[in-house]
Amino acid sequence: MEVRFEKSLHTYTKKVEELLLKKEAANNLMLGLLYRGFNNVDAYQEGVYLGLVEKDNNVIYAFMQTPPQHWILADVTGINEAVIDSILDFFHQEGVEVPSVVGPTDVTKAFVQGWTRRSGKAAQLEMNQFIYQLDHVNVTPQKNGNLIEATGEHRSLIAKWFYRFGQEANMYITRLKAENMAISYIENRSIYLWVVDGKPVSMANNSRKSKNGVTINSVFTPNKFKRNGYATSTVASLSSKLLNDGFKFCNLYTDAANPTSNRIYRRIGFYEVGTSIVFRFNE
């Protein structure tokens, strides 16, 4: 068994793609990042770490990082502790920095336990999520509203909503970052608003495209508009649009501790295909 880094993103993507596509929706984060870099040489100017495990010249596992973000562990069926231990030994020997890690629950917990022993650093649970997939929409959006693509005139509103989204999701988003996110998503034509009586009441974004799917994220409804079904209509309408655009499925992450959002997404047509857990290591 050999653990190593691959320098070429193109070569790496071709090596690990078949493995990751076996659970495409569950591996949407890694696949989305790889395809983004594959199609844009300037996507990761600060560098990227592309790790793989090979056995008998076959790729059996993949892991990566776009610094300073989390190390990402792939969701691969049948991975045992020996594979995780080999990655941990490689990290320790190479002096790899591990600020945080995200991946399927069992694999990530095994990684965290092993890295804690090797590094002496304590780990803190940061996020526990389900990964959902949708192949067809089961609900009809409300007739008193409609989905529109956000434009420059919505920039300040979306920036404010991103900032509040970060507060509600326990994610640190500065006002400057929220402003930059609004500008970027509007320029990418990826963010949409649900509008009722001419007023935006909810938003959702689409991001990270894989071979057959696309991720929906940043779903947010201000408190004064909640409990009206607006988020349901937003996600259902955007999902329908993306499927009509040619994607075979949509996927999203949900907070495992939030029964309300999980119930809403399941009613729309999403079903669980994987888990995602994030741990951060203390300095």
The percent of residues above 90 in pLDDT, for the chain, comes to 86
Q: In the prediction, which pLDDT does 141 show? A: 93
CA atoms 177, 178, 179, 181: torsion sign: positive
Classify residue 272: in a domain, yes or no: no
Query: Mean pLDDT, the chain, as a whole number?
Result: 94
The amino acid present at 45, given as its one-letter code, is Q
Classify residue 46: in a domain, yes or no: yes
Assess whether 181 and 220 both reside in one domain: yes
Q: How many CB atoms lie within 10 A of CB 43?
A: 15
Give the C-alpha separation, 8 to 12, whole Å. 6
pLDDT in tens, 225-239: 999 999 999 999 999
Q: How many domains does the chain have?
A: 2
The CATH number that applies at residue 87 is 3.40.630
pLDDT band at 29 (very low <50, low <70, confident <90, very high): very high
At 109, is the secondary structure helix, strand, or coil? helix
Assess whether 217 and 239 both reside in one domain: yes
pLDDT band at 37 (very low <50, low <70, confident <90, very high): confident
DSSP structural state of residue 118: H
Q: Domain span at residue 154? A: 136-247
CA angle 9, 13, 18 (to 5 degrees): 170
Classify residue 262: in a domain, yes or no: no
Q: How many CB atoms lie within 10 A of CB 187?
A: 10
pLDDT band at 46 (very low <50, low <70, confident <90, very high): low
Domain edge (last residue) among 130, 151, 173: 130
Whole-prediction pTM: 0.92
Assess whether 108 and 143 both reside in one domain: no
pLDDT in tens, 183-213: 999 999 999 999 999 999 999 999 989 999 9
Cβ distance 1 to 86 under 8 Å? yes
pLDDT in tens, 78-123: 998 999 999 999 999 999 999 999 999 999 999 999 999 999 999 9
Assess whether 123 and 218 both reside in one domain: no
pLDDT in tens, 232-265: 999 999 999 999 999 999 999 999 988 989 999 9
The CATH number that applies at residue 242 is 3.40.630.30
Cβ distance 123 to 279 under 8 Å? yes
pLDDT in tens, 141-172: 999 999 999 999 999 999 999 999 988 887 78
**HEC readout, 212-235:** CEEEEEEEECCHHHCCCCHHHHHH
Assess whether 151 and 215 both reside in one domain: yes
Residue 39 has pLDDT above 80, yes or no: no
